[in-house]
Amino acid sequence: MTGAVTLAIFVVMTVFAIRYRAGSPADRAHPPAQNRWVETAWIVAPLAIFLAFFAWAAVVYAGFYTRRDGAMTVYVVGKQWMWKVEHANGRREIDELHLPVGEPVHLLLSTQDAIHSFYVPAFRIKQDAVPGRYTSLWFTPTREGEYRLSCAEYCGTDHARMGGRVVVLSPPAFAEWLQKGNQNAPLAARGFELFRRKGCSGCHVNSTVHAPDLAGIFGRVVHLSDGRSLRADEAYLRDSILLPKRDVVAGYEPIMPSFQGQLSEDELAALVSYLKDTR
Amino acid sequence: MSYLEEGFSLRSWLTTNDHKRIAVLYMLAITGFFFLGGAAAAIMRLELATPAGDLVSAGTYNRLFTIHGVVMVWFFLIPSIPSVLGNFLVPIMIGAKDMAFPRLNLASWYIYVLGGIFTIAALIAGGVDTGWTFYTPYSTRFSDSNVLLVIAGVFIVGFSSILTGLNIIVTVHRLRAPGLTWFRLPLFIWANYATSLILLLATPVLAMTLTLVGLERFFGVGIFDPALGGDPLLFQHLFWFYSHPAVYIMVLPAMGVASEIIPCFARRPVFGYRMMAYAILGIASIGFLVWGHHMFVSGQSMYAGIVFSMLSFLVAIPSAIKVFNWTATLYKGSIVFSAPMLYALGFVGLFTIGGMTGLFLASLALDVHLTDTYFVIAHFHYIMVGGAVMAYLGGIHFWWPKISGRLYPEMLARIAALTIFFGFNLTFFPQYLLGWLGMPRRYHEYPPELQLLNVLSSAGAAVLAVGYLLPLMYLGWSLFFGKRASDNPWRATGLEWQTTSPPPKHNFEAEPVVTTGPYGYDPAR
């Protein structure tokens, strides 16, 4: 479409350039200085086409950022210069990401240092991993195979070497792959252990201190003390651990201490994973 | 006595208040920086001829693209047309004796040079590896290169931009000749005026942002680094609030140049003059509202992305109007393909390709794939190099008789224009395909299957280098041996062609009076 319009402009320019070259016998009587109808037409027509493109692309884009129920969450941490991946059952990998074909995937990205960008050209997806927050992207791999994985946001000396591959397997092959190799305890179990060791459970479970109970928190609408309300997602859980004074739940005092600097990205992932599961 | 004969000593040049001499000082300085930035690009293209990183180390490569970006953006492109051609022509085109603030004008050149010294000092001290975008927290915490020196250089050169912008705005408002109403102004003046407004409004935001980066890096004040309580996305918002309008700082004056050259060599008035002027103002104002399209995958809200995408499509409308109107200006013209015309038509063609591929990037879902790849590199080089540099060179050729009093060798100039056009396309068109295939930008190494396109691009860069060296040589030659130019060698309208070539110190023997609009061309004559 754009190619056709570009070509049309070039053809018209070339035709005019040849037809009206100096010394050619073309008719030059009454060159128009302006023409309201022509000008209006070439404002309105592109505008209509542009808005159509805009709407189409926006709908597809919104699909990348709309939560898909039942999507498999993969925790991805960028660091100079590698991608660290952990699956819910504790299976870990570095510079590789194994996925089952046909299953919706939720990438939950974070970074330990500079900004990185998780880029799989074959999937047409890219998302920055930003320090101090979670970013998310949803997609579904549709074909088995191996695809290139890169870092697309400049992150220092070995930026060009940061990456590897995404391997899309059939569901049975993926299930088998999940059970072998570099294996930790499941994320949520480690999160439960941290939840007690770091003292979270002291206030948040059956406590006399005034703190909200966290059972079934994930996905619930939370009303905040400043009148806002939001749906509890991974980013909210993370912020509530690291920046507890930012979103205070209505009816509670802002007395929770910040855990900024006391939890690694891996530990945060475990805690968030536990909080998502707790009922 | 022409302005060139007012004094021959170095001192007479370095202490001049004459806008024309200051323009020449700028021209010399930015030409030096252009070839410095070009040399960095040449080494990069050599490195990328093979997939492995074998010519320079990764660290060196990162310093090369940073210095290429910093030098080309702030020390060449932004001052190119406004500070050289704008400085030289704005007062003459509106019938004034000089800029409104001649001493401030000279001061802005010295500020530019001071900023340049800081930047070159940073280069000598080992360079910078943050990229010209200085993204935090990499620039404030992780880079161990000379970030502060370069930031200081860019901060300083920003003031030169601000002062030049201020000067042009006041000059256009206050010093127009009797009878020269706003809608009798040449489009070149409209373009430089709108550009100056952007310079004045946007550059302080850059200065402030870079100051904050310096504060965070040096004193650990937490602004952008989340470990200190800051927000890295805040930096991106502030940076692009300046740096997107900066693209229009580069391309609006280029549009102004094309709007002078095309009517002159098509021998007919520009089509839809008023719409052209409104389009300039439209681009300058909507251009302030689209910065978020650099951040569609940065983690900003999806809804922000949708709004910025729509506004980005809207800003394309006035650009499209301009392309259509230039094309319509050719209709029923009597076209002479002189060197400036070849540059101007080349500008329109390359700008069109750059603008059309900009629509790909404004489309949210496509941008997710294409952003931060070579597609973006190709897109903005089509706008900035294919657009702005082509127009700058076209303008230099068009007004060369006025600036130097000499004619350049026409045949050589046409060959150079075609060489640049061909070399440019060979360099940058393959980069669109590389981006489409998923080659990220700022890559020192790349997968071997992308080598063919990279080799094509590198070969194009060699052609392009020859194309850029040609004008440097024959224009230098023509300064001493070129044929003397008459006052109006192109039979052009416009006040600058009514005075002598080169003009006297105060531009006109008697103050001109304007009675008609611009572009009084007739294809029959």
For tokens 């800081």, name the residue: B118
For tokens 């020269």, name the residue: B180
Would residue B226 count as lying in a domain?
A: no
A163-169 and A96-100 beta bridge pairing: parallel
Q: How confident is the model at residue A121 (pLDDT cuts 50, 70, 90)?
A: very high
Q: What is the pLDDT of residue B464?
A: 96
- Kindly report the average pLDDT of chain A as a whole number: 90
Mean pLDDT value of segment A184-200: 90
Q: What is chain A's Cα-based Rg?
A: 27
| B486: amino acid identity, one letter | S
**Cβ contact B362–A64 (<8 Å):** no
What is the DSSP code string of A58-111? HHHHHHHTS--TTPEEEEEEEETTEEEEE-TTSBEEESEEEEETTS-EEEEEEE
**Cβ contact A61–B368 (<8 Å):** yes
Residue A210: Cβ within 10 Å count? 10
The three-state secondary structure class of A167 is strand
Cβ density class B172-187: b for 16+ within 10 Å, e for less: beebbbeebeeebbbb
Q: What is the pTM of this model?
A: 0.94
The count of structural domains within chain B is: 1
Spatial separation of the C-alpha atoms in residues A83 and A91, rounded to whole Å: 14
The 8-class DSSP code of residue B293 comes to: G
**Cβ contact B62–A9 (<8 Å):** no
Q: How confident is the model at residue B147 (pLDDT cuts 50, 70, 90)?
A: very high
| B198: amino acid identity, one letter | I
Q: Which residues of B touch A152 (CB under 8 A)?
A: 371-373, 440-441
- Kindly report the average pLDDT of chain B as a whole number: 94
Would residue B151 count as lying in a domain?
A: yes
**Cβ contact A121–B299 (<8 Å):** no
Print the domain residue range for B423: 13-218+231-497
| B460: amino acid identity, one letter | G
- CA of B307: which chain A residue's CA is closest? A58
Q: How confident is the model at residue B229 (pLDDT cuts 50, 70, 90)?
A: confident
Spatial separation of the C-alpha atoms in residues A253 and A138, rounded to whole Å: 35
Q: Which residues of B touch A34 (CB under 8 A)?
A: 271-275
Q: What is the pLDDT of residue B271?
A: 92
Spatial separation of the C-alpha atoms in residues A139 and B368, rounded to whole Å: 13
Please say if the pLDDT value at position B266 is more than 90.
yes
Q: What is the pLDDT of residue A10?
A: 82
Spatial separation of the C-alpha atoms in residues A261 and B118, rounded to whole Å: 37
Instruction: Tell me the CATH number at B326.
Output: 1.20.210.10
Q: How far is CA B415 from the centre of its chain?
A: 23
Half-sphere exposure of B81 (CA within 13 A, CB side): 34
Would residue B126 count as lying in a domain?
A: yes
Would residue B4 count as lying in a domain?
A: no
Spatial separation of the C-alpha atoms in residues A85 and A120, rounded to whole Å: 15
Spatial separation of the C-alpha atoms in residues A223 and A275, rounded to whole Å: 18
Q: What is the pLDDT of residue A9?
A: 81
Spatial separation of the C-alpha atoms in residues A256 and A244, rounded to whole Å: 6
Mean pLDDT value of segment A132-137: 93
Strands (E), B463-508: none
| A87: amino acid identity, one letter | H
Q: To 5 degrees, how large is the angle CA A70–CA A71–CA A74?
A: 135
pLDDT tens-digit readout, B109-127: 999 999 999 999 999 999 9
Would residue B290 count as lying in a domain?
A: yes
The three-state secondary structure class of A279 is coil
Spatial separation of the C-alpha atoms in residues B39 and B59, rounded to whole Å: 17
pLDDT tens-digit readout, B310-334: 999 999 999 999 999 999 999 888 8
pLDDT tens-digit readout, A23-54: 777 777 777 777 888 888 888 988 999 999 99
Q: What is the pLDDT of residue A212?
A: 86
Backbone angles phi, psi at A85, to 5 degrees: -120, 140
Backbone angles phi, psi at B334, to 5 degrees: -135, 90
The 8-class DSSP code of residue B57 comes to: -
Cβ density class A219-241: b for 16+ within 10 Å, e for less: eeebeeeeeeeeebbbbbbbebb
Best to test chain A binding among B262, B332, B436, B449 (most A CBs inside 10 Å): B332
Secondary structure of A216-237 in the HEC alphabet? CCCCCEEEECCCCEEECCHHHH
Q: What is the pLDDT of residue A208?
A: 66
Would residue B52 count as lying in a domain?
A: yes
Which pair of tokens denotes residue B31?
């030409």
For tokens 């030059």, name the residue: A28
**Cβ contact B309–A57 (<8 Å):** yes
Please say if the pLDDT value at position A202 is more than 90.
no
Mean pLDDT value of segment A214-243: 91
- CA of B330: which chain A residue's CA is closest? A16
